[in-house]
C-alpha cells in the first residue's frame, strides 16, 4: 500500500524524505480534487493531508470517509502551523450519520 501526502511544498517534502509520495497543491480546491482521484486508486492505503487546507473542506472529507473504509485520510498540521484541536467524536458522528 502506498502513502501519499497532499499539501504545500514544505509539507510534502517532509514525507518525501521519509520515503512517501507527495502531491504539491496550492489551494484547498486542488487538494480536494487530488484526494478524490487518490481515493479511487486501490494501491493507496493512506492519504495524509495538510490541515491548513483540509479545514476548508472537512465536510467533503467526512463524506468520503463515510463512503470508503480505505484509503485512510489523515489530517496533520503543516510544519509551520500549530496543531488544531479536532473533535473526533463529532467527526465520527458525522461520518456515521448519527
Output the pLDDT for position 84. Answer: 62
Mean pLDDT calculated for residue range 49-53:
92
Q: What percent of the chain has pLDDT above 90? A: 60
Per-residue pLDDT band at 5 (split at 50, 70, 90): very high
How far is the C-alpha of 24 from the C-alpha of 81, rounded, in Å? 17
Q: Could you identify the residue written with the cell 487518490?
A: 38
What is the architecture of the domain spanning 2-96? Answer: 3-Layer(aba) Sandwich (3.40)
Amino acid at each position: 500500500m502506498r502513502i501519499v501526502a497532499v499539501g504545500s511544498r514544505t509539507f510534502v517534502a517532509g514525507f518525501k524524505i521519509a520515503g512517501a509520495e507527495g502531491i504539491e497543491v496550492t489551494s484547498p480546491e486542488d487538494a480536494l480534487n487530488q484526494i478524490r482521484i487518490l481515493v479511487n486508486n486501490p494501491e493507496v492505503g493512506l492519504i495524509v493531508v495538510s490541515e491548513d487546507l483540509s479545514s476548508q473542506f472537512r465536510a467533503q472529507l467526512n463524506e468520503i470517509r463515510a463512503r470508503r473504509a480505505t484509503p485512510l485520510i489523515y489530517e496533520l498540521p503543516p510544519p509551520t502551523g500549530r496543531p488544531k484541536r479536532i473533535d473526533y467524536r463529532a467527526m465520527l458522528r458525522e461520518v456515521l450519520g448519527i
